[in-house]
Structure 1
Amino acid sequence: MEDQSRLPYKKKQNASFNYHKLESDSPRSFAGDYDFGKSADRRFAYSRQASFRQSIPTAEPHTPISINLSNGYFLHNSAEDKLLSKDLDEKFSFISLIFGGLRSGNKQMRRLFVLISLNVAYSTVELCIGLFTGRVGLVSDAFHLTFGCGLLTFSLFAMAASRQKPDSIYTYGYKRLEVLSAFTNALFLLFMSFSIAVEALHAFIQDESDHKHYLIISAITNLMVNLIGVWFFRSYARINLVYRKAEDMNYHSVCLHVLADSIRSAGLILASWLLSLGVNNAEVLCLGLVSVTVFMLVMPLFKTTGGVLLQMAPPSISSSALSKCWRQVNSREDISEVSQARFWELVPGHIIGSISLQVKKGMDDHPILQYVHGLYHDLGVKDLTVETDRA
């Protein structure tokens, strides 16, 4: 029988490798550049498309594997899988991730932690005062702040978790957590904008003419706390921000979160002052203005983060540039057809693509793969999967 000993392999580039058997004598589909120990040189790994479909229907995805150099088969390792699952549980302990990031000296994480601590302390005091005095408005505002603190805590967790390296479960890493956190913050702020608009409509119907003084004191205190957060993240206090990294999205969402809360508190203070001057419907006007302002601030972030999560075509590469590359590949004499060209952003600054080619019979795949990869790499595509088939 053939020796089925398991030998470790080391990944040398970011490339997905889902194939069950290597067939180096007749390459068909580019998979990546690997180093299979000391007994093999660096090489491009290829596999037939048909072989791939037939050989892995029962294989579990994302399973740690070893490779046997004698026959090229991948061998699944359930023991490694269990150890990896245990390591992930330990590595992704919520508290250890956050405090590990704080100890690492990340200035933005420390600032966010201070901001969350201030908001938690203030909302706790406000809740206690509201419960003891029976002020429903204070209790309601305390719950609003508590929910906001939960979202900011998720942003802090995303900052810490995104620093973890890729593994066999999340092969692209954890950077998209920051995009998800920014999207969640934007969704919450849109909901807050809608609730403020409903509050303004309610004030118009009820025709309320004054504010309760304790709510004004609460708004002033809340404004002072949130202005600290605005100062911490002031470099991200712009509507249309150019996102070069996933961190930019998360930091921008945190800034918009505290900025929207500050605008809400300022609107309540302004409405109270106008009412004291005898301005009719001052609360309706101020809350309506706050609602529209928050909506306009948050909508660009919501659209951008939603586009990344829905794998929209990368905005950093124009459609005309992608079409030009497609025409250049299709014009080669050794290619009969180009199909299924798909490109998207994993996170800002990391573009992924896949493309399928039909190669004419008798043509060598290797120069075609080198040409296509070089062409799209110059365009800014970092990870590209090219599937080839014979015409």
Structure 2
Amino acid sequence: MYPESIDAFSAAPRTPTSRLIRLYLKTILSNPESRKIFYFLMLNLSYMLVQMLYGVWTNSLGLISDAIHMAFDCMAIGVGLFASVMATWEPNESFTYGYGRIETLSGFANGIFLILISIFIVFEAIQRLLEPPEMNTSQLLLDHSHSHSSPASHSVSHSEPHSHSHSSEAHTHSHTPQPKDGHDHTHGHSSATNGHNMRGVFLHVMADTLGSVGVIISTLLIQFYGWTGFDPIASLFIAILIAASVFPLVVDTGKVLALDVADRDLVIQQALAELSSIEGVASYDFPRFWPKDATSLIGSIHIHLVPTTYTRIDRVVERVDALLREKIPGLQELTIQVEGKQAFSASS
């Protein structure tokens, strides 16, 4: 009934939830891209809390509204952070190619969201040009000066996600199982991060920074010249600039999600044309190639051996695999299937 020793009162082991949090934190901080997003999120959250508390203390509706706006920004950055962590999950039976494309989906969603915001700003700006409202420029300038001083805005302004690529340490492996029922398969796998997610987060924070800068400039012009039309004109310029910056991201991510390889079709066709030069290969069919993420491709192909060939099937498969990987940039996962009884007889 009673414990036999003091060991019974020892602390309970660490809960699975705490271990999971520690694991995710380790994953986030070990990856340069997710670490940068995590720092953006922490800076934004800290500034949002300070702004909200100061706004409640001073009863400033402008500061409270901007803090709520920053909360939505934190949600967008948090989605990007979750996507960067989810992309590191291992493949399983349900997602055999892993979760790497979730970063592409996150970038696409951020891009569509920013384009919709740009369209809304354009319509609102046109309405304000036709019916100029009264504006309190002193309060507006004060609120947006505080907003533009957000540390995350300054941090992101010094990052260059377009000119730097961060990737995890790549690993590759291949295996060639024994042929069975006239079929032979070879697979190669490689892991790498893509920059779509980081581009989406960067553009989202950049849009906020541009909005604050535009409001400050237009407010100063209104104070100097007294014409409120500067505000919608600045909004139009910012909306067009945001849309122009985001459109390439939406196109790039859309192509990946739609499995479009049109930009690499010529290279793929040239590589396939060289398969006939491999000893033992009579023909091929069902070539399939599709993008895994921004930089890598997945492929599969069926090859037919020459009926009289004495070349070992594994040698033929290795040569086909090496040629396609050499000629097609970014080909990281490949399945090669050999058809026919001749292939089975030659390998046995």
Cα deviation code 1:13-59 (max 9, x no counterpart) = xxxxxxxxxxxxxxxxxxxxxxxxxxxxxxxxxxxxxxxxxxxxxxx
Residues 1:321 and 2:261 are matched in the alignment: no
Q: 1:333 to 1:372 in 2, by over 3 A?
A: closer
Matched with 2:202 is: 255
Alignment-mate amino acid for residue 223 of structure 1:
H
Does the 8 Å CA contact 1:179/1:246 hold for their aligned counterparts?
no
Residues 1:386 and 2:336 are matched in the alignment: yes
Alignment-mate amino acid for residue 274 of structure 1:
L
Q: 1:215 to 1:339 in 2, by over 3 A?
A: farther
Q: Provide the C-alpha distance between the structure 1 equivalents of 2:127 and 2:43, rounded to a whole number of angstroms.
A: 31
- 2:317 corresponds, among 349, 369, 374, to 369
- 1:208 corresponds, among 123, 127, 133, to 133
TM superposition shift of 1:247: 4.4
Q: Provide the C-alpha distance between the structure 1 equivalents of 2:254 and 2:291, rounded to a whole number of angstroms.
A: 11
Alignment-mate amino acid for residue 25 of structure 2:
F
Q: 1:213 to 1:108 in 2, by over 3 A?
A: farther
Identical pairs, percent: 24
Q: 1:277 to 1:93 in 2, by over 3 A?
A: farther
Residues 1:270 and 2:223 are matched in the alignment: no
Alignment-mate amino acid for residue 170 of structure 1:
F
Q: 1:310 to 1:126 in 2, by over 3 A?
A: same
Matched with 1:227 is: 153
Does the 8 Å CA contact 2:296/2:332 hold for their aligned counterparts?
yes
Matched with 1:287 is: 235
TM superposition shift of 1:299: 1.3
TM superposition shift of 1:293: 0.6
Is the partner of 1:269 in helix, strand or coil? helix
Q: 1:127 to 1:91 in 2, by over 3 A?
A: closer
Matched with 1:357 is: 303
Does the 8 Å CA contact 2:76/2:201 hold for their aligned counterparts?
no
Alignment-mate amino acid for residue 157 of structure 1:
F
Q: Provide the C-alpha distance between the structure 2 equivalents of 1:187 and 1:297, rounded to a whole number of angstroms.
A: 12
TM superposition shift of 1:387: 3.0
Paired residues, number: 295
Taking structure 2 as the reference length, the TM-score comes to: 0.70
TM superposition shift of 1:263: 0.5
TM superposition shift of 1:343: 1.4
RMSD of equivalent CA atoms: 3.5
Higher RCO (C-alpha under 8 Å, 6+ residues apart): 2
Q: How does 1:2-21 map to 2 (within 5 A)?
A: none
Q: Provide the C-alpha distance between the structure 2 equivalents of 1:122 and 1:211, rounded to a whole number of angstroms.
A: 25
Q: Provide the C-alpha distance between the structure 1 equivalents of 2:67 and 2:23, rounded to a whole number of angstroms.
A: 27
Q: Provide the C-alpha distance between the structure 2 equivalents of 1:283 and 1:171, rounded to a whole number of angstroms.
A: 51
TM superposition shift of 1:292: 0.6
Q: Provide the C-alpha distance between the structure 2 equivalents of 1:369 and 1:250, rounded to a whole number of angstroms.
A: 36
Matched with 1:182 is: 107
Alignment-mate amino acid for residue 299 of structure 2:
G
TM superposition shift of 1:195: 2.4
Taking structure 1 as the reference length, the TM-score comes to: 0.64
Which has a greater percent of helix?
2
Matched with 2:180 is: none
Residues 1:155 and 2:102 are matched in the alignment: no
Matched with 1:34 is: none
Cα deviation code 1:156-208 (max 9, x no counterpart) = 22333333444444333333232222222222222222222232123223212
Alignment-mate amino acid for residue 43 of structure 2:
L
Q: Provide the C-alpha distance between the structure 1 equivalents of 2:306 and 2:94, rounded to a whole number of angstroms.
A: 37
Is the partner of 2:160 in helix, strand or coil? helix
Q: Provide the C-alpha distance between the structure 1 equivalents of 2:79 and 2:22, rounded to a whole number of angstroms.
A: 14
Q: 1:98 to 1:197 in 2, by over 3 A?
A: farther
Does the 8 Å CA contact 1:209/1:275 hold for their aligned counterparts?
no
Q: 1:101 to 1:267 in 2, by over 3 A?
A: same
Cα deviation code 1:90-121 (max 9, x no counterpart) = 6999744542335x555554443343233234
Is the partner of 1:306 in helix, strand or coil? helix
TM superposition shift of 1:354: 1.2
TM superposition shift of 1:314: 7.4
Residues 1:343 and 2:293 are matched in the alignment: no
Gaps of 5+ in 1: 1-89
Matched with 2:41 is: 116
Residues 1:194 and 2:119 are matched in the alignment: yes
Is the partner of 2:303 in helix, strand or coil? strand
Does the 8 Å CA contact 1:354/1:385 hold for their aligned counterparts?
yes
Is the partner of 2:98 in helix, strand or coil? coil
Matched with 1:11 is: none
Alignment-mate amino acid for residue 109 of structure 2:
T
Alignment-mate amino acid for residue 346 of structure 1:
K
Q: How does 1:83-98 map to 2 (within 5 A)?
A: 95-98=21-24
Gaps of 5+ in 2: 1-15, 168-191, 342-348
Alignment-mate amino acid for residue 99 of structure 1:
L
TM superposition shift of 1:152: 0.6
Does the 8 Å CA contact 2:80/2:106 hold for their aligned counterparts?
yes
Q: 1:242 to 1:110 in 2, by over 3 A?
A: closer
Cα deviation code 1:51-90 (max 9, x no counterpart) = xxxxxxxxxxxxxxxxxxxxxxxxxxxxxxxxxxxxxxx6
Cα deviation code 1:324-377 (max 9, x no counterpart) = 122223577965653332212212343211123345656575454233212101
Does the 8 Å CA contact 1:243/1:348 hold for their aligned counterparts?
no
